[in-house]
Homo-oligomer: A and B are copies of this chain.
Amino acid sequence: MDYVYGPGRNHLFVPGPVNIPEPVIRAMNRNNEDYRSPAVPALTKTLLEDVKKIFKTTSGTPFLIPTTGTGAWESALTNTLSPGDRIVSFLIGQFSLLWIDQQQRLNFNVDVIESDWGQGANLDILASKLAADTAHTIKAICIVHNETATGVTNNLAKVRKILDDYRHPALFLVDGVSSIGALDYRMDEWGIDVSLTGSQKALSLPTGIGFVCASPKALEASKTAKSVRVFFDWKDYLKFYNMGTFWPYTPSIQLLYGLRAALDLIFEEGLDNVIARHSRLGKATRLAVEAWGLKNCTQKEEWFSDTVTAVVVPPYIDSSEIVRRGWKRYNLSLGLGLNKVAGKVFRIGHLGNLNELQLLGCLAGVEMILKDVGYPVKLGSGVAAACAYLQNNIPLIPSRI
């Protein structure tokens, strides 16, 4: 499409879809295949095993559904819950809002705990609700691990602790769309019942696979959940898992091979190293924001996100203009502010297969854009702050030592 070409690489810093590494692009560069041949099930088997490592679960059952994160949400909910079920859900930004909208349209009885955009989930209110719910009317807690709209990471270990403190049997459903594969995530340790993510986020693939992983308790719940579902029904998958052919309907051959390559890259780097890298990228970004004299939309350090940073602009600037300008002048793609924070924040996504120098190029670009739109930034200041930290903390690339 000629009308979009710009010289050089596009600098892709939206918080998804993210950059796809070359080995993954290569792996997907292929013709279709018969998914009923012996090859595809053999490949699928390795994928299901290895995906569990990303979720840090040994007891979970993963489903690789040909859908997006929105579909993964629906799969998580409809397989475990029945219409009218009471669920507690946290509204802290645009994506938790959309999930809640879905929950309501799926006819659940949603008990919404709202926070200011920029704050994390209010777990004190959760605690009081659980305390009050001695009848166990609450069937599930739904929480977005990392709210992509505001760059807020919730503390899942704490949610688990509260559930445990009250010995509450509610299912624990987690949207890990912009966290799993990038942030510390421990499905088994934290007693998460359904984890979900999408291929175009930390796994650095194209859109097209909704990953849903169910604990034994969630699987058990799926046997009695009355929500209507067919395409998203785990039962069909389980039937084909048992037959060893794995797929109730046609998967994307390209995404399967791409996922194989993506997992191989993560394991080669080491999942913990991947998480540490995201931590460096997040920290470096926040240091730059601070150096620019701007505010992070996230209001407290405990919620800082290592995958996306929402930067608050001064009231006299329209953050959408920053995003437009990035694309038009610098071949830089930043994330818009959404809904309540539209025009007020722009977002830097720093997740997936990304390294520090890529981020520094982006930060330099943001500085020039800030100047373009009339913010009195000191050019180089953010990059300097980020470099000072990174230069002390980047490890040697293990394969090159």
Binding site for B on A (CB under 8 A): 1-12, 14, 16-23, 25-39, 42-43, 66-71, 73-74, 83, 101-102, 105-107, 198, 200, 206-208, 227-233, 248-255, 257, 260, 265, 268-269, 274, 277, 327-333, 335-336, 353-362, 364-365, 367-368, 371-372, 378-381, 383-388, 390-391, 394-397, 399-401
Contacts and interface: CB of A to CB of B under 8 A. Distances in A.
B36 A31 contact: no
B71 A228 contact: no
B71 A355 contact: no
Contacts of A21: 7-9
Contact of A39 (B3, B23, B335, B396): B3
Given A249-B68, A252-B207, A269-B7, A390 B368 contact: yes
B357 A362 contact: yes
A69 to B, nearest CB: 7
A401 to B, nearest CB: 7
A228 B106 contact: yes
Nearest to A5: B399
Contacts of A83: 228
A67 to B, nearest CB: 6
Given A231-B71, A333-B33, A353 B3 contact: no
B328 A357 contact: no
A394 B372 CA distance: 11
B19 A9 contact: yes
6 contacts: A3-B400, A4-B38, A7-B21, A38-B400, A68-B231, A329-B396
A358 B9 contact: yes
Contacts of A361: 357-362, 364
Given A5-B265, A208-B66, A357-B364, A10 B26 contact: no
